[in-house]
């Protein structure tokens, strides 16, 4: 029981309790550190308490590469940006959430519980999102909430849980044909549209088509497209203002491709920003409370260049080439893992990351929540490769797939 409570608490701290307005500000400010402290404490505790042999950690090498690059970047920040080690250590705090990958191995958290936890936090996110949407302009969170693209854009922590849950529910719709999963899918698609984020919508649609093409639980491709059509029609009429606004933004950016802020930001952080050849190896470090941090803020304000907008390129400018190698190795190993269809949501998550690798917030080094999600998914891969029967809800699906293959 304590293992499950620990994981839930760490997730809540990584989410900063959704920055709800009734949460004391001091709790939100120190939540990252409390979560990291819990990870360190329980890793050390169960390292001595656990008597079971550890299962193989297929992703320990790339995670160590990322952690090593972060240490190396502290020297880069000191030499190239004149930022102290302490300021850099504070600025890169989200990276420390990678240690949960090792904690999960020592605690041996059940796979089914992790999947249910992901679904639960997706439902919580969905509920809070819809509540904030209805109550706007009254705010229930201190996260960014504003009108844009014909909608109320709500940047609430935890959207990653909803994206993963979408693919779990998509699988369950065709596996069990239950109305509740159809409703959850429609609500999720509606939230993706309300978010007004074209990259999420495009990625989800592409991966949904991929699911249809390779899935064994989809008995009729015609029925699949029929359901997609039924889903798109009400979503279009409910959110047509939002959809047209996103089309206008896309058209305007296409007309002025050279002036696109993300392209210019990528060029800047790959060339002018780097302080010599060694900076490509060590990186420049994460920004802290220093002149370096003020410089990055001025660049963002003056030119609209944000490191968080250019994904892996922005993270590369912070942590260097070894970090990039670790990320690529994680993606390769995750996508090469042989998983049953019930766990394919893991691969869809990393495929989605690839689709937005340099056009969205970095999935591996910008958000503690995303690092936590990815680490849990990597642990699930290890758990399945160690014991195929570790996921009870998958047994039926696997047997059905094997029966279909032999028939």
Write the burial class of residue 12 (CB in 10 Å: 0-12 exposed, 13-18 middle, 19+ buried): middle
The pLDDT of residue 342: 87
Judge whether 316 and 265 are in contact, CB under 8 Å: no
- What is the CB neighbour count within 10 angstroms for residue 227? 17
**302: which residues sit within 8 A by CB, 6+ positions away?**
none
Nearest-5° Cα angle at 161, 159 to 166:
100
Closest CA to 305 of 258, 253, 269: 269
- At residue 232 the predicted structure's pLDDT band, cuts being 50, 70 and 90, is low
- At residue 51 the predicted structure's pLDDT band, cuts being 50, 70 and 90, is confident
Please state, rounded to an integer, the average pLDDT across all residues of the chain.
84
- At residue 254 the predicted structure's pLDDT band, cuts being 50, 70 and 90, is very low
- pLDDT of 401 strictly over 50: no
The pLDDT of residue 199: 75
- At residue 214 the predicted structure's pLDDT band, cuts being 50, 70 and 90, is confident
Measured CA to CA, the distance from residue 214 to residue 221 in angstroms comes to: 11
């Amino acid at each position: 029981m304590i293992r499950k409570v620990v994981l839930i608490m760490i997730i809540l701290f990584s989410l900063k309790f959704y920055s709800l307005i009734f949460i004391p500000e001091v709790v939100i400010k120190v939540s990252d550190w409390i979560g990291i402290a819990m990870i360190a404490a329980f890793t050390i505790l169960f390292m001595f308490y656990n008597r079971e042999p550890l299962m193989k950690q297929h992703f320990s090498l790339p995670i160590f590469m990322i952690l090593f690059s972060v240490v190396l970047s502290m020297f880069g920040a000191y030499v190239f940006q004149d930022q102290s080690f302490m300021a850099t250590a504070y600025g890169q705090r989200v990276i420390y959430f990678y240690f949960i990958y090792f904690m999960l191995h020592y605690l041996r958290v059940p796979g089914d519980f992790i999947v249910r936890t992901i679904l639960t936090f997706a439902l919580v996110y969905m509920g809070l999102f819809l509540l904030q949407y209805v109550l706007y302009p009254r705010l229930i969170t201190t996260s960014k909430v504003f009108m844009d693209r014909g909608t109320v854009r709500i940047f609430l922590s935890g959207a990653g849980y909803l994206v993963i849950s979408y693919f779990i529910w998509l699988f369950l719709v065709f596996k069990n044909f239950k109305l509740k999963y159809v409703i959850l899918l429609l609500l999720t698609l509606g939230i993706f549209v309300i978010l007004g984020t074209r990259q999420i919508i495009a990625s989800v649609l592409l991966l949904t088509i991929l699911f249809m093409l390779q899935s064994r639980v989809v008995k009729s491709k015609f029925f699949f497209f029929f359901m997609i059509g039924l889903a798109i029609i009400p979503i279009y009429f409910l959110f047509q203002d939002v959809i047209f606004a996103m089309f206008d933004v896309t058209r305007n950016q296409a007309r002025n491709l050279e002036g696109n802020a993300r392209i210019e930001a990528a060029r800047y952080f790959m060339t002018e920003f780097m302080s010599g050849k060694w900076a490509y190896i060590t990186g420049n470090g994460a920004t802290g409370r220093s002149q370096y941090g003020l410089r990055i803020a001025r660049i963002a304000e003056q030119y609209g260049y944000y490191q968080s907008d250019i994904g892996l390129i922005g993270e590369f400018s912070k942590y260097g080439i070894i970090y990039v190698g670790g990320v690529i190795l994680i993606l390769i190993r995750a996508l090469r893992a042989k998983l049953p269809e019930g766990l394919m949501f893991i691969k869809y998550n990393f495929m989605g990351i690839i689709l937005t690798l340099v056009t969205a917030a970095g999935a591996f080094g910008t958000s503690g929540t995303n690092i936590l999600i990815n680490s849990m998914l990597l642990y699930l891969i290890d758990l399945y490769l160690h014991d195929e029967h570790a996921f009870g809800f998958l047994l039926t699906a696997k047997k059905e797939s094997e029966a279909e293959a032999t028939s």
